[in-house]
Structure 1
């Protein structure tokens, strides 16, 4: 049973139009800064039915218009999709490079359609460009292939990779068995595969691209929910999540884990005398100074108010005390500034090393008790929780 090319084209046109409508609706749910990339993708998708309409006029209009412009619009659609994916990944969009490539291909197609007509020559040029554009989509998403679990980027990249293989198959078939004459209406197996992919495959690529935006939006919401909006460090929920993870790893690999609980000694006076804006400045200053002292693998979070917690993996109580003294000195030596004035605030820190039987909450309670011990001893000091 032979596949009717016109039927494939009609299905592709209808699917493209339907997908454009769905993309336009879905795009309204995303932040404004994300909609630009969806618009670029939608433009690329809109070029598909226009291109197929031109290709369907073969014999009714000049080959230069039908073949060259029709295939050029198809390739330009894939170029716009590649731009959108690269922009989504934070990579240069390379609009000029893509548009130049497509323009050169259109010129070559005109030459092999009117000047020196040759069907396989047109196929080789067309397939090479399609493979390059689809490969650029797959490569732009390559950094997401190693992530665990299902990801829309992996799905989209895999489908783009499938398009590359199909384009290369068509390239190889016409390289080994070139044909001077031919058209899409008497196409071979690889030609049908390419047409089917170009007609129907863009719908799956579009679905993957929308899912990529959905995943990114979810990650953004999750990150915002786990971060303290004032200081940018982990909020209590995010801190607890990381704490449970580090406690589990500490037990599994039998490595030490220590916690620092920090509390400012004169924070209430700052709020009462200078106002909450000054207090917010001091809190941000503490978070910034702590980031400079802590290592990359350490975890910093805000419990609430002026209480901060630092989790130090692979660090025993003695090492944690050294870090705590550095933190206290860092804040003491570089005061926060509010409206041009220095705002000195001392820091009391409780240090606790995790025991085998400790839960995260138990470790937090022990560090809290040590911190209050530092305050009772006069403040601006470091106290260790008992080991036993």
Structure 2
């Protein structure tokens, strides 16, 4: 079933790389916290190795990332990015020069690659990639031509390198999951926009028809009944004229919600257009569809719409058609539409059934309801057309 309320329209501009601005800065802000935490881990490791100068550098790096996090919260995004670039380049250079290539400090340059890949400007992205590649190659040449300033044991170098690998893997995993989740969210939003009516959240006409064809095939395979219902809000133009189009929209949402409230798990509900709705009821014959439609009609009649606290009385006319063996969907819609017009012509606020779905005798519920109508009731009891 479609969602109970229409999906909100996207409010952020989409970047050329496929991420919205807000999503990109949210990801970068979280990465800043991740990096600040990683720097504290490095600080502890360097203190354990008896390298207070490197530990101090890590403390400064952690503080830098925290500042960048705060700046992004204040929307000083570009200043924050400059700080993060400067910190990563400095950290990678210091670790590579002082500790050697085997320390793994150069891996941190790779962290920029996902962020660069979703840059809004292809030229800036290309320039950043060339800069990163040049910096990486320079560090490689420098590390292999000059001996490291600190002569660490192989075990210490292995510890630092593995720590670098773990941190970089963690950042790449986070960014990959973040991108994947955003793509999934975008796909779901596009699906909702393509298949549901934005005002009511019901299926739109095209999606309803696609799902209906599948239900018809299923009903014919299993030999089960299937019914189609068309519904139209009575005197809707008068509602718009007297109360305005905003109230008219609220009335449409109101009726859609009431109809959805009567739907079972497998029922299909759609907005056919304007103030008209459509429902497909699997495992339901003409009698069952009549009873269902009467419940909907009664519910709408007894539940006024209250926009801004003002009661707006609403009624609904419905046309019912059972899909018989060999009957096409177009034929069923014509029959349901004819039944709907019969309900309108008979005075509105009633349910009529197409002749093809008319039972031999009125259903017990209908007979009981007509008999229970109070004498002198100015509203005629709903009838079965045909």
Q: Following the alignment from structure 2 to structure 1, what is the Cα–Cα distance between the partners of residues 25 and 168? A: 24
Structure-2 separation of matches of 1:324 and 1:379: 14
Q: Is 1:305 matched up with 2:274?
A: yes
Separation in 2, partners of 1:63, 1:256? 80
CA contact (8 A) 2:19 2:182 kept: no
Q: Does the 8 Å CA contact 2:321/2:336 hold for their aligned counterparts?
A: yes
Partner residue, 2:209 = 240
Q: Counterpart of 2:227 in 1: which secondary structure?
A: strand
Equivalent residue of 1:289, what SS? helix
Q: 1:225, CA displacement in angstroms? A: 3.1
Q: CA deviation at 1:253?
A: 3.6
The separation in 1 between residues aligned to 2:209 and 2:29, in whole angstroms, is 40
1:30 alignment partner in structure 2: 20
Instruction: Pick one of 335, 346, 366 that aligns with 1:366.
Output: 335
Give the aligned partner of residue 271 of structure 1.
240
Cα displacement string for residues 88-142 of structure 1 (whole angstroms, at most 9, x for unaligned residues): xxxxxxxxxxxxxxxxxxxxxxxxxxxxxxxxxxxxxxxxxxxxxxxxxxxxxxx
Partner of residue 320 from structure 2, selected from 334, 351, 354: 351
Alpha-carbon distance in 1 for matches of 2:156, 2:287: 76
Aligned partner of 2:175 in structure 1 is 206
Q: Is the 8 A contact 2:318 2:343 kept in 1?
A: yes
Unaligned runs of 5+ in 2: 1-14, 70-152, 359-386
TM-score, length of structure 1 as denominator length:
0.54
1:384 aligned residue (350, 353, 363) = 353
**How far apart are 1:276 and its partner, in Å?**
2.1
DSSP-derived class of the 2:202 partner: coil
CA contact (8 A) 2:46 2:55 kept: no
Q: Aligned equivalents of 2:35 and 2:329: distance in 1? A: 54
1:61 paired to 2:61: no
Q: Distance in 1 between matches of 2:292 and 2:219?
A: 19
Residue 309 of structure 1: how far off its partner (Å): 0.9
- Does structure 2 retain, via aligned residues, the 8 Å contact 1:260–1:324? yes
Measure, in 2, the Cα distance between the counterparts of 1:361 and 1:245. 15
What is the CA-CA distance between 1:207 and the residue it aligns to? 2.2
3-state secondary structure, aligned to 1:258: strand
Are positions 1:226 and 2:195 aligned together?
yes
Relative to structure 2, which stretch is displaced further, 328-337 or 341-350?
A: 341-350
Report the Cα distance in structure 2 between the residues aligned to 1:238 and 1:259, rounded to whole angstroms: 15
Alignment correspondent of 1:250: 219
User: In structure 2, what is the Cα distance between the partners aligned to 1:31 and 1:299?
Assistant: 37
Aligned counterparts of 1:249 and 1:194: Cα–Cα separation in 2: 57
Shift of the alpha carbon at 1:323? 0.6
Higher helix share: 1
Asked whether the 8 Å contact 2:220–2:325 carries over to 1, the reply is: yes
- Give the deviation of 1:356 after TM superposition: 4.1
Q: SS where residue 383 of structure 1 aligns? A: strand
Q: Deviations over 1:180-238 (max 9, x none)?
A: x9835357xxx988864543464254223202211211211221332222223222233
Q: Give the aligned CA root-mean-square deviation in angstroms.
A: 4.2
Q: Is 1:240–1:360's contact at 8 Å kept on the other side of the alignment?
A: no
Q: Which residue of 2 aligns with 1:217?
A: 186
Structure 1 residues not aligned, in runs of 5+: 1-24, 81-180
